Every structure is written in C-alpha cells, then in structure tokens.
A and B are shown apart, each in its own frame.
Chain A
C-alpha cells in the first residue's frame, strides 16, 4: 500500500475544503476532520497514521491548530519503514519547533537514525536536525554530525554541512570543531557539497574571529579556484541557468570572498584579478548574469579593492540604474547606498537618474531611491533637490506622502542655508502634506519661527495665504493659528515687510475669521481647537475692535463636550470680560523659544514634547496658594508674597492672587482691583486651577499645545524669582535691629495693624523644644459701626520664613468692637537670630455688601522671634 497515493480520503478532504464557499463552512469541515483524527490518535490506529498526518499538515497550512498531531509524528519517526519515517520527519518540521518539550523525546530517534545504515534515512534525520535543532540537541548530536561530515556520500556530506551551520549558530563555541572539515569540503567536486561548504565557511567566519583568521589563510585559494573554474567552465547541463554555470554557487563564493577580503589587503589583492574577470565577462542580459554581477559589485565594495576595480563596479551600477527592468533598478539603488561610503562623488553623478526613481510608480523603488537621495544631499545641491522633491510631493501617492514629507523635513532641517528658506520650504511641505507629518516637525518649525525675529511678519502672512488654500492640512493649520495668535497684528499692518513680498490687505476681522474657521473646521482635533482658543484670546487684546466677537466665539465653546476646551473657554472668557487691565500683559508675545535646548532635547529623546524646551530647567517652587482664610499649603518659597513685600515703592501691586482665584472659581468677591498686579501671580493661579499639571511641572500632558501657555508663565516666573532675590537682600539691609538671644521669654503682645476701621493684635507664644517656631494668635477688632462680612485675612512672609495660616474663628466681624475674630498663625524663622520676622497683611471684607480692602506691613515684632 502506498501511503502517499492511498490518500483518497486526503483528496476528499482537500476537495471538500476547496468546495467550501465561506470561511464558516471551511471551519466546519476542518473541525470534523480534526475530530476524526483525534479519535484515530486515541485509538492508536497505526494503519492510517501517515494519512492523518498528511491531513494535519494541510490543516496546519490553512492556519488551524494541530498540536494534537505532534505525538503522532514521533510515533511515525520511530517506525521502521522509510515512507512512514519520511512523513513523520516532515510533520516534525512543520508542526513542531524547537521550543516544544516534545523535541526532547525526538533526540533519541534522531540519534538512531543518524547512525542508520541507509543513506536516505540518515539524510532525513540530518535534514530534520538542520531545521529544528535546539541548543541542547546541538550539544547532544554534534559528534554524529561531525562524523557524517567525513562520509563519502555527497548527499550526506552536504546535509551534514548545513546541519553544522545550525549547530554553530545555536552553540557558537563549537565553531572550532568544524573548521578543518569546512576547509576540506571546499576540495570536493559535487556542487551541493560545495555550496553547503561555502555557506558553512561564511557562518564560521561570523561565529568567531579565530575561525575567520583560520579560514582566511586556508580557504581563500580554494574559493578563488572554484569560482575561476566555474566562470571558465564549458556548458554544464545539470547546473546551467541560461548560459551560466551554477549562479547560486558563484554567488555564495563571492559572498565568502567578501567576508574574507573585508579589511584584509592581502586576500583582497588575491581576488582582484578574478573579480575583474567575472565582472567584465558575465553577460548582463539575463537575470542569472545580473545576479552574479550584483554580488560581484557588492564584493568589490566590501573588500580592499583597487580603485580601477571600484570604478568598474560603479559603472556596472550605473548601467543597472538605466536598465528598464525594475528589478535591476531596485538592486542598483540598493547597492548605490553602500557605494556612497566608498565613493560618494561617483554616486553623485547618477543623481538625476536617482531623482527620477523617486517618482517611479513602484513603491519599492521609490522608497529605495528616497533613502538614497537623502544620503546624497549636501550644501550645494540641497536647493535644487528640495525643489524637485517638494514639487513631486504635490503629485505623489497618498501613502507615499508620509515617508516623503518626513524625509524632506529632515533634509531641510539639516541643510537649510538660512531661515527664510527653511520657513518657505516647511510651509510648502505643510501645505501639501500637513496631515502626514509628525508633531515634532511642526513643533520645530514654531521654534524656528519664534527665533526668526525679522521674519515674523513674513511668516504670518505666508501662513495666512497658505491657510486659504490648504485649510484641511492639520499641522499647517496649527502653525498658522499659533503664528496668527502671536503675530496677528503684523498681518494687518503688514509689519516687518521683506523686499520680496507684496503687501496684502487683511482686516482684523479677516484674521479672526481664519482662527474661527480653524476652531470650527470639521477636521480640527482638540489640539488645534485649543490652540485656536489661545490665538483668539491673544487676538482679543491685539484687536480691541474684534473683542466682542471673539468673546462670542470663545463663549460658544463653553458647552463643548471636551473638558479641555470647555475649561479654556470659561477661563478665557473670564479674562476677556473682567480683567482688561491684566489682559494685555497676559497675552504678550511668547518670549523667544530656546532653539539650542530644543534641539538638544529632541536629539536626546525621540519622544520630544514641545513644551519642555523652554524652561525645563526652571526650578520654580510652588507659590503660595492660600485659600480663603488660610486652608493653605505651606509654601517652600512664597514667591507671591515676596513680590508683595517688594512693592514698597509700588504699592498698587497689592491686589494679589486670591481675588483672581476667587473670580475664576466663581466665588465672586468682585474686588474692584484698582491696580495692575504682577501678572505672574495671576497667571500662576489661573493655571494652577485650570491645569494642575503645570504646578507639578509634568511634561506628560496629553495635549501638546496645552503647555504652550505655561511655558510662557514659567519663563516669567523665572524672571520674578530673580527679582525677589533682590528683595530679600534689600530687607536684609534694612533690618539691622539688635538680636536678642533670650530664650523661653514671654513676648509682649503687639498691635500689628490699626486703621480707622480695624485693629489687629498679635499675641505670641513659643514652644521651647522648637525655638524657630512661633505661634501667633491674631485678634481682629472692628472699630466701625457696621458689621463686616466675608472677612478674609491673609499674610505673607519673606522666603526664609515659613508661614502656616489656620482658618479664622469666624468670617463675620461684629461692629463697635463687641466681638472679635481670632486666627492662629504659625511662623518658622529659619534665620532665627540673624533676621527678624517681617510680614505683610491684607484684609478683605464687605461692609454693606461693598468690598473693602486694607493692607499693611508688620515690622514691630518683638526681637528674638
């Protein structure tokens, strides 16, 4: 009985599977078959074992699990008949792999078969071992393979050689065991043995330096001789491929020669003549000939060849490149990439042809050519090349635009001769492929724009024009919106005109239209919309005439389902409506973004987030966030307060954070702020409410635009920190009061503050175990005839003092001194004995629903606190 043709049932199964119309039907058939096979397996049915396995192989090929057939393979391998063994081994290779424990069980059968008397059975075992051998098996069976390498039968020899490759790959230490055998293989005549032997040599070279040295000495002669014989050989029918004798062997030999000749002048010298002969003699009108030429060129590039030989090689590539066959052009492009390292001038000569290949209809060729072109760009040819590429970007396939545009961007960034050119090119790319470029590309563009002071006007006008035509390109829109927000005024008044430009007429409302369109465009995502909102906020101060309209637009977003937008809308609306006095300073232009830091960051990590770049080093410690009557955090550096203290010569700076805070929170104290307060504080608080992430300085905000504003803020915070340092110094100079060193002293109460309407007294106490801390009990007395409501007391201290403000006992202060409010403060003077306490106070309250604000400074603290 023939197990392979007896498969009528196998044929039936295949037919019924082929007849299936749907995947579901196919699954049903397979399930039925699998069930039958499982049943046969459990009955240990040996008659149909091979047929079942053949079926399983088919089912496996279709992509169904067949693990239950694994043991059947082992049983077939263990049987004595050749056909059973044959299909068993085939099943083993297809259904199993080296990770399966079942392999442990097969090692023994393999060992027996490797020692079999029948050469075909040995061949089977070697083949299986070569395909699935694991490291353990390699160690166990290597002696058998070494022995078989010396066998007289060429069929066994060649398979043993390939088996050795697997063993060396799995256990590189064993390389030396095979070195002599490998060299001997090259003395054979049989092509199969030769090709296997050559491949073994290649792998040995890769496995160990030692083997490479040894083989360099011993097999360079052999391989050159074999190749010479092959290329001079007369017609050999059995190995002939369209007029060339065994191209496969020739190619392997060339590869081995490349490895041997690499970095070794003597060996290279030895090959020169032969390589020249091969590369001139081979006919290049057949694929097989070209395959050898291709390998030959690669070898010439890889070894220490003479310059004449290299010119020959580059010329072959030039010929390939102009070939009409796409396959040949593809390999030529591939090869030219490697040739650049050897002779870039020679490759430059083919630039025009390569550029044509970028525009090929074939994606594989385009991709290769684009890689190659990007290596060919230098300062002299960048402009013409970029013109070509950008022109092509307009007509290229959709799926190629991503690759192409990112390549263009990286080239433009690397080689741009000046900023104007850079911006021009980037705008062209954005207008054509704005939807395909990565975030860091347009982030980088914004950094450059921000630094090009004399190009702001030009850029914003160019973007305005580009937006008219390409409003669906997301990243173009983002850059445009950002620039309009920053430099919108230059759009209207044609500021910063360059000579090459023609003036355009844009009204303020046109500008707002643009941003409005970006905000509402259906394809705009949250980032774009959020950026649009910021731009609108900025415009509202640049264009007072459009302020009303902007307010409406911003208001519309109050109902946005996106939390980010809703929140921004509400915050911005509040700024526009209530805080005219601070708005202009709030929406000032961004300071120049630091290019160097940005580039550094970008190279440091590929996952660049735009925001971090400016003030990544700004170590600003959180400002005081004192909530109503001091449910406050203890600030480590009360920046805000220090600024307050510094306001001796600018008393109007007093209305500090909390009002705005309240307004934003909707507490609605509605303090008439008569002053222009330090905008840092407001910003800080605005942001600390809106975006807590900034306080913690988290760069991981999901929206990249989210942090554009904060940057700004941090930049300012930095400035103000340095200001405050002076303040501390000033204070130092002023207070040279004598220092008392008395301890455990009862300090007298003081009147910290007194006006016509309000008196504040401070009582002190100290814990002996903690001399730096002082507990202050503040007592508030109402001297007027009207009760105060919404009473709020706040205090601020210089940096070296820590202040902890506890809630007050009440927030209503009865009139005529009939009641008091007390509030407990804890101060900790870190410079005790060196500097005295100092404190500024601010008291807000309502009289008959009218807001009142009083403030003062306490400098009469008893000494020693």
Chain B
C-alpha cells in the first residue's frame, strides 16, 4: 500500500495533523504517535531521515518547528517519500504563503483537503501543485 500514515508534529511533540491509511484504534494511534515522536525528536540533523519502527519505516523531515513524518512499508522508496514530504510542504506554502504551524492548526480541514488530493488509500495520486490546489481554490472563491 505504500504510505501508512502521515503525521505532523511540532517540536514539543504535539500532534498537529494526523492521517492514517490503515485502521487503528484511538489508543493505538496515541501510543504509536508517542513512540515515533520520541524516536524521531531525539535524532540529530546529521543522522539520516529514516527510522525503523516495528515492522515499517518512518521517513521524517523537519521544517522549522514542524516535523513531517510519513510511515511507509519496508519496500517503499525512502528517498521518494522525502521528496513527497517536500512536495507537501511546497504545496502548503503555495496556498498559505510561507506556511507555519498556526496555519495548519487553524486550517486543519484545508490541510486535510490538500492531503486528500495528494494521497488516497496510501498511494500518491497527484503531484502537480496546481492540480492539487485547484479544487480548494474553487471552494474558497465560491464562499
């Protein structure tokens, strides 16, 4: 399936966005977030961006105070996922204009809409920023 979940977590370890592509109960999600955040946040910049966790990998990348973490299957191309994270950030940047943690918090649903356009069922579905943002911009115009 490729992508199992996407998490945005700030430096303090608070979840700012969470999207799971396989079913987990609330407790499992919380436990998983806690474990991963602990693992990733303790790593230094020099260390590689991949952490093996349980039976999958977490690819993460830090942008200012936000960590973008993507859980993927073991056979997934880690470098491509890094590239995907960057694409996600660029897309948000284009929409919000220099995106920051607060933008995502206060516009959680928009962040989710963007993700929805980019990823479905754990697969990347669209990589063009214009195509991703088009429906969202239409909706903004309509209101």
Contacts and interface: CB of A to CB of B under 8 A. Distances in A.
B55 interface: no
Nearest to A288: B83
Given A4-B143, A127-B120, A191 B47 contact: no
Given A83-B139, A159-B125, A61 B21 contact: no
Contact of A131 (B18, B82, B120, B127): B120
B108 A57 contact: yes
B74 to A, nearest CB: 9
A287 to B, nearest CB: 6
B2 to A, nearest CB: 8
Interface in A288-309: 288, 290-291, 294-295, 298
Contact of A248 (B1, B49, B121, B127): B127
Contact of A54 (B26, B51, B108, B121): B108
Interface in A193-240: 195-196, 199, 238-239
A619 B45 CA distance: 62
Contact of A195 (B29, B30, B112, B125): B125
Contacts of B130: 238
Contacts of A364: 47-48, 50-52
Nearest to A290: B79
The CB with the most chain B CB atoms within 10 A, among A3, A61, A86, A367, is that of A61
Contact of B79 (A163, A246, A252, A287): A287
A246 B138 CA distance: 25
A120 B21 CA distance: 22
Contacts of B113: 86, 90
A64 B120 CA distance: 25
A63 B108 contact: no
B46 interface: yes
Nearest to A167: B121
Contacts of A239: 127-128
Interface string B1-34: 1000000000000011111010100100110010
Interface in B103-143: 105-110, 112-113, 116, 120-121, 123-131, 135, 138-139, 142-143
A123 B135 contact: yes
The CB with the most chain A CB atoms within 10 A, among B33, B129, B131, is that of B131
Main secondary structure of the interface of A (DSSP, over half): helix
A192 interface: yes
Contacts of B123: 162, 165, 196, 199
A196 B83 CA distance: 18
Nearest to B23: A97
A408 to B, nearest CB: 20
Contacts of B16: 61
Nearest to A5: B143
Interface in A123-140: 123, 127, 130-131
A82 interface: yes
B110 A4 contact: yes
Nearest to B33: A63
Contacts of A162: 120-121, 123, 125
Contacts of B108: 54, 57-58, 61
A97 B23 CA distance: 6
Interface in A77-104: 82-83, 86-87, 90, 93-94, 97-99
A722 interface: no
A291 B79 contact: yes
Interface in B42-69: 43, 46-52
A614 interface: no
B58 to A, nearest CB: 10
Given A61-B15, A166-B121, A192-B127, A326 B46 contact: yes
Contacts of A195: 124-127
B96 to A, nearest CB: 14
Interface size class of A (residues with CB under 8 A): 35 or more
A87 B109 contact: yes
A759 B132 CA distance: 109
B116 A90 contact: yes
A365 B47 CA distance: 9
Contact of A329 (B26, B29, B48, B129): B48
A14 interface: yes
The CB with the most chain A CB atoms within 10 A, among B49, B112, B120, B142, is that of B120
A3 B142 CA distance: 12
A61 to B, nearest CB: 5
A353 to B, nearest CB: 16
Nearest to A11: B106
A330 interface: yes
A294 B46 contact: no
A61 B127 contact: no
A175 B116 CA distance: 25
Nearest to B29: A63
Interface in A91-121: 93-94, 97-99, 120
A249 interface: yes
A330 B23 contact: no
Nearest to A196: B125
A241 B108 CA distance: 26
A456 interface: no
A50 B121 CA distance: 24
A754 interface: no
B122 to A, nearest CB: 9
Nearest to B22: A97
A331 interface: yes
Interface in A146-175: 155, 158-159, 162-163, 165-166, 169
A330 B84 contact: no
A294 B127 contact: no
A65 interface: yes
Contacts of A94: 19, 112
Contacts of A694: none
A93 B77 CA distance: 26
Given A58-B108, A362-B46, A367 B26 contact: no
Contacts of B142: 82
A376 B9 CA distance: 39
A57 B33 CA distance: 17
A499 interface: no
B89 interface: no
A304 to B, nearest CB: 20
A94 B107 CA distance: 16
B41 interface: no
Contacts of B80: 247-248, 251, 291, 295
Contacts of B84: 248
Nearest to B16: A61
Given A90-B116, A192-B131, A158 B83 contact: no
Contact of A327 (B23, B79, B139): B79
Interface of B: 1, 15-19, 21, 23, 26, 29-30, 33, 43, 46-52, 77-80, 82-84, 86-87, 105-110, 112-113, 116, 120-121, 123-131, 135, 138-139, 142-143
Given A192-B128, A327-B79, A362-B43, 6 more contacts: A63-B26, A97-B23, A127-B120, A241-B87, A331-B79, A365-B47
**Nearest 5 pairs between A and B by C-beta?**
A291-B79, A326-B48, A2-B143, A362-B47, A97-B23
30 contacts: A14-B105, A61-B15, A61-B18, A63-B30, A63-B33, A64-B26, A87-B109, A90-B116, A99-B23, A120-B135, A127-B116, A130-B120, A159-B120, A162-B123, A163-B120, A165-B123, A166-B121, A191-B128, A195-B124, A199-B123, A238-B130, A247-B80, A247-B83, A248-B124, A287-B83, A291-B79, A294-B79, A295-B80, A327-B48, A331-B78
